[in-house]
Amino acid sequence: MGSQKHVVLLLSVLLILNSLLFSGADEDHYYEFILQETEITKLYSTKTILTVNGSFPGPEIRVRRGDTVYVNVLNQGRSAVSFDWQGFEDPVDGSNELIQPGKNFTYEIELDDEIGTLWWHARSAWAKATVHGAFVILPAADEEYPFPTPTSDQIIIFGEWFKQELTEANETIAAGQADGYTINGHLGETYGCSNDTTYLLEVAYEGLYLLRLINAVANETMVFAIAQHSFTTVGQNATYSQRSFSTSLTLAPGQTLDVLLSANQNVGQYYITAQPSSGRHNTTGVIQYLTSTGV
């Protein structure tokens, strides 16, 4: 009897330890963002844009529901910039203040009930065009997705590209002004520039993918589709939504959508299209089925 009691006691201690370690334990995360002037060539011309850590779009933040995120932004660029933490439940201190060149500021983002996908971006239109990235909020450690667990997830950010330099003079960006539209920074094939790259999504046959779509285009709705494939929408703007089924997805400026994609067609390549509401240019990408299931 005594040893049984010990086992029960040991088990409950283990259970408590387990719950302390793996559930309610919201974590702190630290990110370093370096704002810098970066030379990028697209549409056969080179210009300097403001980026975070040299990449367009910028680095992703990936945390869990309820975590706290510290983002230390060091401005090594030429202009003062502020970040906007739009779509988060709790206001973020310092969102209205400019970070002057040579200075830094640490934003503290306390997550509450947000789940799914948001994005971070500079506040003013000209800087936001190049200074943005995904903010992924996974379920808490003890929490499951309320839909079949995806094989993996994939961020898809729609952006726009201007041949001209954007400056503080560009306080707003009107629809149809862009020279091209991008998927994760790639212009695709529609512009006829052999030097530009195309977004490629590799999938395994019968895999299930959670696509996290973000419309970073300032002033245009984007319509997204993949030839012969359809989507199940499961969330938007960092909340789970009623499931809905569609063959094309429409995103308002600033909107995010989480959708499931079943790779259930014949093994091959299919076009991805993203069409801005101004209609002057489309952009394309490709999904490629891998014949081996090594994903």
Residues in contact with ligand NAG by the rule CB under 6 A: 31-32, 34, 44, 53, 59, 72, 104-106, 125, 162, 164, 166, 169-170, 172-174, 177, 195, 218-219, 236-237, 252, 254-255, 273, 275, 281-282
For residue 115, the minimal CB distance to ligand NAG (Å) is 14
The residue whose two tokens read 């800087």 is 127
- CB-nearer residue toward ligand NAG: 151 or 250: 250
The residue whose two tokens read 């589709």 is 225
Measured CA to CA, the distance from residue 73 to residue 57 in angstroms comes to 16
Q: What are phi and psi of 19, to 5 degrees?
A: -70, -30
The residue whose two tokens read 């996908």 is 117
For residue 237, the minimal CB distance to ligand NAG (Å) is 4
For residue 206, the minimal CB distance to ligand NAG (Å) is 27
For residue 207, the minimal CB distance to ligand NAG (Å) is 25
- CB-nearer residue toward ligand NAG: 223 or 290: 223
Tokens of residue 204, six digits:
């395994």
- CB-nearer residue toward ligand NAG: 195 or 292: 195
Contact between residue 197 and residue 186 where contact means Cβ atoms under 8 Å apart? yes
Nearest C-alpha neighbor of 80 from the set 59, 95, 58, 102: 102
Tokens of residue 174, six digits:
């009107």
Tokens of residue 180, six digits:
């091209």
- CB-nearer residue toward ligand NAG: 109 or 208: 109
